[in-house]
Structure 1
Amino acid sequence: MEIHPTAVVHDSAQLALGVKVGAFAHIGPEVSIGPGTRVDHHANIERLTTIGADCHIWPYASVGTDPQDLKFGDERTFLQIGDRVLIREFVTVNRGTGEGGGVTRLGDECLLMAYSHVAHDCQLGQRVIMANGATLGGHVHIEDYVGLGGMVAIHQFTRIGTRAYIGGMSGVAQDQPPYCLCEGNRCKPHGLNVIGLKRAGFSEETLEALKAAYRIIFRTHTPIQKAMEQVRAEVPGVPEVIHLLDFIASSERGVAR
């Protein structure tokens, strides 16, 4: 371990081998930091936060702070950060609330760019990228491999499906479907994330099936339930199409169309 003499580390914090803590950084009570993680100068890691291996917290980031929720009563709640997560300057991440499950989670290999914000009880999958100034309300669920453009604002309790990309400056008030390019205020899908899916190695069979499902669900005026029945009857049931249908069926806020 390398801990700068001006850093403040609480006696109950647990720092693994290879952790580096810079000047004037603050590590609060009951914090656990995994091996190889670096906490830069003036970064703030508040209480009841767990950080995995090989993460990097840049200067002036503040994670594990109390929820910005007037109902919060100082109950014991947590922040869990996975491995190889990158948190840039001035990012803020709040712990969970007792009413919301008690835990905010960031999956492995997420990148949170400068000034982005993750509110209480949010659940982020692996390799989520939040560009500068992107903001999540409380209880937002984001699946794996999602990209959020700069200054995106996502309403509380909203879900973003896997491998979706949300264009910059979008205002998101409803669930955004997986595999899609979405943008606007209010945000809605404008096509499949074809380039992203090809880069990820999706087969032509899968891409064609997703295109067919997308046309039926998002390019017709067919009521959503009938459109889903049509997809089940006409489109090959590859896992990605099944996931798309399951995502829509489980939506509580409604899926943007």
Structure 2
Amino acid sequence: MHVVKEARATVIHPTAIVAPGAQLGDGVTIGPWCSVGPDVVIEDGVELISHVVVDGHTRLGAASRYFPFCTVGMAPQDLKYKGEPTRCEVGARTVVREHVTIHRGTAMGAGITRVGTDVLIMANAHVAHDCVVGNRAIIVNNVVMGGHVCIGDDARIMGSAAIHQFVRIGHAALVGGVTGVEADIIPYGSVLGNRARLVGLHWIWLRRNGVKSDEIHRMRKAFLSLYPKNGGDQPFAVRLDAVRQAFAQDQRVQEILAFIDAPSSRGLVRSAREQGRGQDMEDA
């Protein structure tokens, strides 16, 4: 039996401004004093609570929510930008809190800024032009990122972290609060410090997401082989080849190695162990 879904009413507050040409799905709520530009596409069930500005060639995914004074799809803070029709996309069920700014892409970059599905971006955070934020990522209050940053699925970026342009942050990585990130962070990596240093793996995420103890043990062994205390006696390239061979069948270790092998504009965050300070953090 085919079930026909009943369309839900779209509600637009009298004080909101929705430009001709904007496309609104079913069940959209646009609250007081919101502004929606002519090239915006808003999918089913989206809620703009109040004082939200959405502009440019922007698509808001189904059932996503936007809190007061956030802006999505505004022109980038890049002096090379000359008004090109670049884009911005936010995925389904993502929550964007107060005073967040998400800018559209640039012609010099990928031409699009993407935020994934089920993401939480907390108050006062900034997602710059051409950034990619993966699915289920959590971006905490006051996080700022330069252009072209790529954040993997399930990453956790704690409060007031600052991320340099072109940095890559791997799957399920953890960035500690008030951490300055100038280089790439391996998948599952945990970094801390005024200038980020790798202090271990994101053990809490691994345990909470059902990774078995024997696999966590292998990941710990691989990490210690890559980043031995005091840097070890061998060059990093030699340690990398040894781990590649010893853990050829371990999918998560291979994910880390593939990230290390990929092209990078910024290099890798160095380990605190290499400088003889910091320890592997069991509860990072």
2:109 is aligned, of 100, 103, 106, to: 100
Spell out the pairing of 1:181-200 with structure 2 (5 A cutoff): 181-200=190-209
Q: After TM superposition, give the deviation of residue 244 of structure 1 in Å.
A: 0.2
Letter in structure 2 aligned against 1:225: A
In 1, distance between residues paired with 2:114 and 2:183? 21
Q: After TM superposition, give the deviation of residue 205 of structure 1 in Å.
A: 2.8
Q: Normalising by structure 2, what TM-score? A: 0.88
| 1:242 aligned onto 2:254 | yes
Spell out the pairing of 1:1-150 with structure 2 (5 A cutoff): 1-150=10-159
Note the alpha carbon deviations across 1:142-199, whole angstroms, 9 max, x for none: 1100000100000000000111110000000000111121111210211111111100
In 2, distance between residues paired with 1:243 and 1:234? 14
In 2, distance between residues paired with 1:78 and 1:209? 42
In 2, distance between residues paired with 1:88 and 1:181? 25
Name structure 2 gaps, 5 residues minimum: 1-9, 271-284
Identity of aligned residues (%): 39
Cα–Cα, structure 1 residues 109 and 38, in superposed 2: closer, same or farther, change >3 Å? same
In 2, distance between residues paired with 1:86 and 1:241? 31
| Greater Cα radius of gyration, structure 1 or 2 | 2
1:255 corresponding residue in structure 2? 268
Note the alpha carbon deviations across 1:90-111, whole angstroms, 9 max, x for none: 0000000001010000010111
2:243 corresponding residue in structure 1? 231
In 2, distance between residues paired with 1:233 and 1:49? 45
8 Å CA contact 2:247–2:254 kept in 1: the answer is no
In 2, distance between residues paired with 1:223 and 1:153? 30
8 Å CA contact 1:209–1:236 kept in 2: the answer is no
Describe the SS at the equivalent of 1:206.
helix
Q: After TM superposition, give the deviation of residue 251 of structure 1 in Å.
A: 4.3
In 2, distance between residues paired with 1:137 and 1:54? 27
In 2, distance between residues paired with 1:200 and 1:244? 17
In 2, distance between residues paired with 1:223 and 1:76? 47
Q: Normalising by structure 1, what TM-score? A: 0.98
Q: After TM superposition, give the deviation of residue 78 of structure 1 in Å.
A: 0.2
Describe the SS at the equivalent of 2:223.
helix
In 1, distance between residues paired with 2:184 and 2:31? 40
8 Å CA contact 2:248–2:254 kept in 1: the answer is no
Describe the SS at the equivalent of 1:80.
strand
In 2, distance between residues paired with 1:242 and 1:34? 37
1:160 is aligned, of 149, 164, 169, to: 169
The CA RMSD over aligned residues, in Å, is 1.0
- Report runs of 4+ in structure 1 exceeding 4 Å deviation: none
Describe the SS at the equivalent of 1:189.
strand
8 Å CA contact 1:212–1:235 kept in 2: the answer is no
In 2, distance between residues paired with 1:240 and 1:13? 43
Q: After TM superposition, give the deviation of residue 237 of structure 1 in Å.
A: 2.4
In 2, distance between residues paired with 1:96 and 1:80? 10
8 Å CA contact 2:114–2:132 kept in 1: the answer is yes
| 1:205 aligned onto 2:241 | no
In 1, distance between residues paired with 2:236 and 2:47? 47
Spell out the pairing of 1:171-182 with structure 2 (5 A cutoff): 171-182=180-191
In 1, distance between residues paired with 2:227 and 2:246? 15
Q: After TM superposition, give the deviation of residue 236 of structure 1 in Å.
A: 5.1
